[in-house]
Amino acid sequence: MDRLLAMQTFVRVVETGSFSAVAREQDCSQSSVSKQIAALERHLGARLLTRTTRSLSLTEDGDRYFEEARRLVTEVNEAEGMLRRGEQQLAGSLHVAASVGYGLRVLMPHVQTFLQLHPGVKIDFKLHDGFIDLVEHGVDVAVRVGELADSSLVARRIARVDRIVVASRRFVAAMRKCNNVPRVPDDLRAHPCIVYTELSTKNQWNFTTPKGASASVRVSGPLQANSSEVVRAAVLGDMGIAYSPTWLFDDELASGEVQTLLTEWNTRSVPVHLVSPEQRRHSAKVRSFGEHLTHALSEPPVK
């Protein structure tokens, strides 16, 4: 069995919804198309299609296999097309994942410039707060902020993100009026704090001083959320103090609408990684997009 041909046939059968249409495309008999699909199913040990006299549908296994098969067929067609034409232009779909806040506030400008440089590429931008399985969701490359758990993914560190303790100007003014602005991390216990639950340490905020002293405090407050955008809205709504990446409040920090606290205490920065499934590491689009982000985010470093 020619696996690539069988895969191409399967993809076209699903796309056209017809064995006979694919038979006409390949200039072969309908039974030949059926035999290719049957051979692919035997090879995979799974039923891919359910066929009746009136309809054709994917099985659960077929649905999972289809997206990966279509992506691989597209990559092969693109590579052959570039070689035939002697071109180096990228083309086709690129599935990119990131957290909602980082994707919107940091990555979007660079996604836009990448698309301007490569007009033949279409990006499917999947924004999720929290862990998603890249293979299950058909993701080619993801940008992940924070330490990575051991996995089979191919990872490359491209930047670091600094965190700060912040509150709105009005919230800080109210604390000053009561003379209870936090001076050391332990003072945070007496204040309403907004907890980002996707932080690996949850409500435990860790600090060090330039002289090497360290402190760790467990905070609490009226709101916790798994979305950095919710944390942002809560800070701007004067609801409390947050332990936040600087990029979440760049404009507000510049204008003074949001202010930093505990400035003599440092927080631990966290890495930013590009991660891809092993089978996508050699994709020209993945490599090009990774190089684009590495250049954009490394100079100057992400704050």
Q: Say yes or no to pLDDT of 128 above 90.
A: no
Q: Say yes or no to pLDDT of 301 above 50.
A: no
Asked which of 99-103, 143-147, 169-173, 215-219 is least confident by mean pLDDT, the reply is 143-147
Query: Cα torsion at 197, 198, 203, 204 (round to 10°)?
Result: 170
DSSP bridge partners of 123: 94
- 36-41: average pLDDT: 90
Spans of all domains in the chain: 3-85, 92-157+272-298, 163-261
Q: Say yes or no to pLDDT of 302 above 60.
A: no
108/269: higher pLDDT: 108
* CB burial readout 166-184, b (16+ within 10 A) else e: bbbeebbeebeeeeebbee
Domain 92-157+272-298 class? alpha beta
Measured CA to CA, the distance from residue 217 to residue 215 in angstroms comes to: 7
Tens digits of per-residue pLDDT, 48-81? 988 776 778 888 888 888 888 887 887 776 666 5
**Res 259: pLDDT:** 96
Q: Say yes or no to pLDDT of 240 above 90.
A: yes
**Res 214: pLDDT:** 86
Tens digits of per-residue pLDDT, 83-95? 554 445 678 889 9
pTM over 0.75: no
CB 207 within 8 A of CB 183: no
Tens digits of per-residue pLDDT, 4-27? 888 889 888 888 888 888 888 888
Measured CA to CA, the distance from residue 300 to residue 303 in angstroms comes to: 9
Q: Say yes or no to pLDDT of 111 above 90.
A: yes
**Res 268: pLDDT:** 80
Average model confidence (pLDDT) across the chain: 86
151/202: higher pLDDT: 202
- 159-183: average pLDDT: 93
Nearest to 80 by CA among 279, 289, 284: 284
**Res 53: pLDDT:** 67
| Rg for the chain, CA atoms, rounded | 25
Tens digits of per-residue pLDDT, 218-235? 999 999 999 999 999 999
Domain 3-85 class? mainly alpha
Looking at CATH, the fold of the domain delimited by 163-261 is given as D-Maltodextrin-Binding Protein; domain 2 (3.40.190)
Domains 3-85 and 92-157+272-298 share a fold: no
**Res 180: pLDDT:** 92
